Structure 1
């Protein structure tokens, strides 16, 4: 297994976890809040997908699927199109109202773009500096692992919420 295959496996696990957390839920289930300030499955999956879309497209030098694929218009969220969820308030979390079809469609499109990008990587590519705003500067390899880590954490949170939603009878 080479590095690209390893990363493909990791992002494939995110994809599978997202589907397991979202599939078959209706909007009330996707937007159920354990308390008034908790994240929802819909927000978590939207956020992890937006971050993946934003960060992968940045290092690939391509337009984000969010805008290129028309997803921003389909979702119709009251945020700037560049928003990824960082710094969102409880009210922002509540504003993410969408269907499982929309969430999974957007996630699948981002996953396909990510997979295409990863398949073309060589090990030498991973040392390319992609962000000089940090000390030390961030390489492509570090950025990809960071996105993968963030996505897996949020997918796990969505899975936990799925269990709570199911126990609550949604």
Structure 2
């Protein structure tokens, strides 16, 4: 298996988990904030937003978000707002009317990631894209970072659904 195939497979994992988390979810559960933490809606939205923003930057192209996703989701946040540093009040303000649309946005982001990764050469993954860190960040490391963040946030969403309604993946 080539590096690009591994990255594409890894990027698909949070999408598959999000499908399970969002299946048949009520509005109450979607927006509950167990322990005053992040809601499931916010966690899945942020998982998609951070990846969309960072991969778009690598691609040198507009974010998927700019294809009308703010209005489709009913979220009044621009392309520069991906949720980093949101307060509990800002998390609570993020309301998603249709979880299927949230999943569709995550799918569109995954499609953009998969297309981008599929077009890279093996050598492209070694290109340094950020010199603000030691060691410098390569394209491959940045892609992995976006996948890791998406995995973490979707896993938190699954945990939050379990806390709110005793839900478990596959049950």
Assess same fold via TM > 0.5: yes
Structure 2 counterpart of 1:13: 13
Question: For residues 80 and 121 of structure 1, what CA distance do their matches in structure 2 show?
Answer: 28
In the alignment, is the contact (CA less than 8 A) between 2:29 and 2:164 conserved in 1?
yes
Question: For residues 69 and 88 of structure 2, what CA distance do their matches in structure 1 show?
Answer: 22
Structure 1 counterpart of 2:26: 26
Pairs within 5 Å for 1:115-126: 115-126=114-125
Deviation of 1:132 after TM superposition, in Å, equals 2.2
Deviation of 1:96 after TM superposition, in Å, equals 1.3
Question: For residues 121 and 151 of structure 2, what CA distance do their matches in structure 1 show?
Answer: 23
Pairs within 5 Å for 1:132-147: 132-147=131-146
Following TM superposition, where does structure 1 have runs of at least 4 consecutive aligned residues deviating by more than 3 angstroms? 78-81
CA RMSD of aligned residues (A): 1.5
In the alignment, is the contact (CA less than 8 A) between 2:33 and 2:39 conserved in 1?
yes
Structure 1 spans left out of the alignment, 5+ residues:
none
In the alignment, is the contact (CA less than 8 A) between 2:70 and 2:78 conserved in 1?
no
Equivalent position SS for 2:25 = coil
Aligned residues: 166
Structure 1 counterpart of 2:84: 86
What TM-score, normalized to structure 2? 0.91
Q: Mean alpha-carbon deviation: is it higher for 136-145 or for 42-51?
A: 136-145
Residues 42-83 of structure 1: CA distance to partner in whole angstroms, max 9, x if unpaired? Answer: 00000010001001111011100101x200222333444311
Question: For residues 101 and 10 of structure 2, what CA distance do their matches in structure 1 show?
Answer: 23
Question: For residues 26 and 112 of structure 1, what CA distance do their matches in structure 2 show?
Answer: 27
Question: For residues 82 and 120 of structure 1, what CA distance do their matches in structure 2 show?
Answer: 26
The one of 69, 72, 79 equivalent to 1:71 is 69
Question: For residues 121 and 80 of structure 1, what CA distance do their matches in structure 2 show?
Answer: 28
Deviation of 1:137 after TM superposition, in Å, equals 2.2
Structure 2 spans left out of the alignment, 5+ residues:
none
What TM-score, normalized to structure 1? 0.91
Deviation of 1:166 after TM superposition, in Å, equals 2.6
Question: For residues 29 and 3 of structure 1, what CA distance do their matches in structure 2 show?
Answer: 38
